[in-house]
Amino acid sequence: MDNTVKRLLERLVRRIPSRMLKTTLDKWSRLTATQRQSIDYTESKWALTEKLLAICEVFGCSLTVLVSPWFHTDVIENPNLGMWHAFQLMDPQDDAHSVELTQFKEQFKSHLSELIRHVSIKIKKHTDEAVWIRIAWGDTFSRPNHLKPTYVVHYLQTPYVFLSSLTSKQKPLLSQALVLSTRYQAIKDANLSGRKLTAIRDLLMKQYLQVFPTKFPSPLAERNRVVSNLHIEKEQAGSAANRHQMACEAFGDGLLPQLQSAVYKLETKFRDHTNKTMTERDEPFRCVVKFASTNLLESLRHSASSGVASTPVTPLLSSVPLKGKNYFVITDNGPGPSSQK
């Protein structure tokens, strides 16, 4: 068994949290029951790895076999490693809506293998209808590198694709393969990225609780409401409820998808009459504003409902959930953000 396999095995074992080791190894069908029982989970990870290596040496373990079940636990169970970027497929052809899994799998594998000779592709469908693709890239001279794979997640019949760990060299190859196998005509950057796959997926697929104007907007007031201060209640209750409603309409209710940042790249002219040197310049004033938080949408909603951000919520902020983007380029033409990318 060569070094790459050894290193891969070590790395994979290291990535899995100790408490999940038993469940992961149980899922690996290569190990027989006796072998599984012989593994002592109270040992350190290093000792465990040595044990596994010994088992694999005896029974022979090719790279592909090693990779297949591990990638499930490696990434599907821990989808929050690294940054995920969303892409959007454009201009569907007539049969885009009836692409089914086997067809997609075959097409994707054949197209990508045509474009690059040494590549290892594994496609798996998860229970929530997500198609997971793991790609290990090699080139004309070297074998596929399993230590730095690219992951692709796609839901058939939707125009969105989520990518993780893709270099700029690999991007055009992957885009081509995706476009051809999904029967669309182009792919573009959706300007949405985040650490949590579920968050950016929920945002684009609109799977969080949105609030819309209805005939009876406010719920019935509870009978025995406990108010801390009657005077504050009398003055502030109405406007607080109004702000809360507008904040929820802009961002949503309940648990919001966890985005980590929003970036606004400004390319507008400088406007401050007290500073002549800046305003006299012809070229636009380049500036980047970045909002960062553990849960950005939650913070924005709270700032709107508490009055820190003025309501009605400015389109600059409400565009994040509305357009499903967290990267905006703002120019002088037209009101509000006009993303060019």
Please report, as ranges, the residues that interact with another protein according to CB under 8 A. Answer: 97-98, 100-101, 125, 129, 155-160, 204-207, 210, 212-215, 322
Nearer to another protein, 160 or 264 (CB): 160
Nearer to another protein, 146 or 154 (CB): 154
Nearer to another protein, 119 or 190 (CB): 190
Nearer to another protein, 140 or 214 (CB): 214
Nearer to another protein, 125 or 188 (CB): 125
Q: How does strand 84-92 pair with strand 119-125?
A: unpaired
Q: How far is the CB of 251 from another protein (least distance, A)?
A: 12
Nearer to another protein, 66 or 99 (CB): 99
Q: How far is the CB of 213 from another protein (least distance, A)?
A: 5
User: Using CA atoms in the order 90, 91, 95, 98, what is the torsion angle rounded to 10 degrees?
Assistant: 40
Q: How far is the CB of 79 from another protein (least distance, A)?
A: 18
Q: How far is the CB of 212 from another protein (least distance, A)?
A: 4
Residue 5, token pair as written in the block: 């396999």
Q: How far is the CB of 249 from another protein (least distance, A)?
A: 9
Which residues neighbour 315 within 8 Å (Cβ) at sequence distance 6 or greater?
335, 336, 337
| Helix intervals (H) in the chain | 3-15, 21-27, 33-38, 45-59, 63-71, 101-115, 171-182, 197-204, 230-251, 276-279, 296-305, 315-323
CA distance 111 to 97: 20
Q: How far is the CB of 312 from another protein (least distance, A)?
A: 10
CA distance 220 to 232: 20
* Residue in 152, 83, 64, 63 with CA at minimum distance from that of residue 112: 152
Nearer to another protein, 38 or 310 (CB): 310
Q: What's the DSSP call for residue 312?
A: S
* Residue in 261, 248, 250, 320 with CA at minimum distance from that of residue 294: 261
Residue 10, token pair as written in the block: 């070590």
Q: How far is the CB of 104 from another protein (least distance, A)?
A: 10
